[in-house]
Amino acid sequence: KQILGLRGKEWSPITLNYFQQHHQCQDLPTSEQLIDSWEQNLNAMCSEIEACPGARELVNAVVSLSNKIPIAIATSSRMSGVAKKRTHHQEWFEHIDTIVTGDDVVRGKPAPDIYVEAAKRLEVDPTECLVFEDALSGVQSAKAAGCCVVAVPDPRYTEEEQDS
């Protein structure tokens, strides 16, 4: 749960440290090896990943209200993974004005950079943005950028974690 929403270079040291502390593993991969392995496996599954429940309906509702409301995706994923996910959901990705990935910013979530960049690309102030986020680090990131945030709790979080 601690690593949801983080980029590889942020979650890999946390993961490796956990395994060193709790499992006394001797032959751990490097951070780069772990990230590469993770991304290979993830990329193999990307075309099968389903949208978050309600995401497609939300995009369609916003588009039906007005084609003038800009829409962005701000994801910690790399652009290569987003491109693969996009092939499975092309019919509603066409309504997304810009996609900012973890590749596009220096600091990942929970830093505000990704949402500041998304607002900049949409040519709006971050305070004019409404963000839907499923990861705690993403909620923190959007709040730090000054955005209004709707937390869409990931079912892996406890009720106490959802309330924070």
| pLDDT tens sequence across 27-65 | 888 888 888 888 788 777 766 777 778 888 888 888 888
The token duo for 113 is 């950079």
- Rounded CA-CA distance 25/15 in Å is 12
Instruction: Give Cα separations from 4 to 39, 66, 108, 133, 137 (angstroms).
Output: 15, 32, 12, 11, 7
Write the pLDDT tens digit of every residue in 2-13.
777 777 888 888
- Rounded CA-CA distance 160/83 in Å is 34
Kindly tell me the sign of the dihedral angle through the C-alpha atoms of 159, 161, 162, 164: positive
pTM for the model stands at 0.74
β-pairing verdict for 148-151 and 130-133? parallel
